[in-house]
Amino acid sequence: MDLTFPFLSTGLLNLVYGIVATVGVLELLTLGFIPALLQRDATPKAVGKAIYCYLMQMFGILLMTLSGLPAVGSVLAGLSYSSSVYLALLIIFTLGGLIFLWHENVSHAIDEASRAVPFAIYYYTFKTIGFVLMSTTLLFLILTMLLHQIELEPTWWVSPTIFFFYGGLLSWSTRWPYGHHLNFENSPLSLRPPPPPQPRPLPASVSLPALSMTMKKPKMVQKKRSS
């Protein structure tokens, strides 16, 4: 039985995927706003600016990674690309570096309360990626040498070695010295205090008694005249 639908063309599917991806990005941004706004003295505009700056820094790091790793791999493996390929990789790396440095400079102008949570997410994301890369590539190198001693190619070690040192670079870059003002163990996040309780209004059906009914009239004491 043919279940193909002619109206589900490739362009329509790409449009659906684009809408779903856009909605997913917006939901992630919304989830980033919620914990950031719990900070004391944090404003929505500054929080949004901080999230934007750190996302652009991630994009810059991604561009530098995509252009730097192939160049290093070609040198270690003894391969040679054409001059146009190296020029393209250099342009991509330069663009990524400029994007990263520009938005890093902009993020320093944001107040610390508004960028504390976005920076923590950005910081520990790359710290996690670096540790996972180092652990998995080191395990891959050891297991490959133990289990595949005969079937190894001459350049089998190039890719895992590059990713191992790249993970080490990320781990070293996300390491703060002890006592640094950005060390999260020494500078805990200060949450916004809860609002004070508001007095509950009286129902409309309940009315206060009249002032005249509550006040007692003074008794008139008449003095008897002495006859």
- Find, among 115, 123, 118, the residue nearest to 185 by Cα: 123
pLDDT score for 98: 96
52: how many CB neighbours lie within 10 A of its CB?
15
For residue 196, what are the contacts with CB-CB under 8 A and spacing of at least 6?
none
Q: For residues 31-48, b (16+ Cβ closer than 10 Å) or e, as one string?
A: ebbebbeebeebeeebbb
What token pair was written down for 35? 């914990």
Q: Whats the size of the chain, residue-wise? A: 227
pLDDT tens digits, one per residue of 171-184: 888 876 554 454 44
pLDDT tens digits, one per residue of 148-160: 766 777 778 888 8
The pairs formed by 54-57 with CB atoms below 8 angstroms and a separation of 24 or more are: 54/103, 54/107, 54/115, 54/118, 54/119, 54/121, 54/122, 56/99, 56/100, 56/102, 56/103, 57/99, 57/100, 57/103, 57/104, 57/107, 57/122
Answer whether 19's CB lies under 8 Å from 90's CB: no
For residue 35, what are the contacts with CB-CB under 8 A and spacing of at least 6?
117
Say yes or no to pLDDT of 102 above 90.
yes
Identify the residue whose tokens are 């020029």.
87
pTM exceeds 0.95: no
Say yes or no to pLDDT of 3 above 50.
no
Interatomic CA distance for residues 158 and 15, integer angstroms:
39
Interatomic CA distance for residues 160 and 190, integer angstroms:
41
Interatomic CA distance for residues 32 and 48, integer angstroms:
9
Share of the chain above pLDDT 70, in %: 69
What token pair was written down for 145? 């040498």
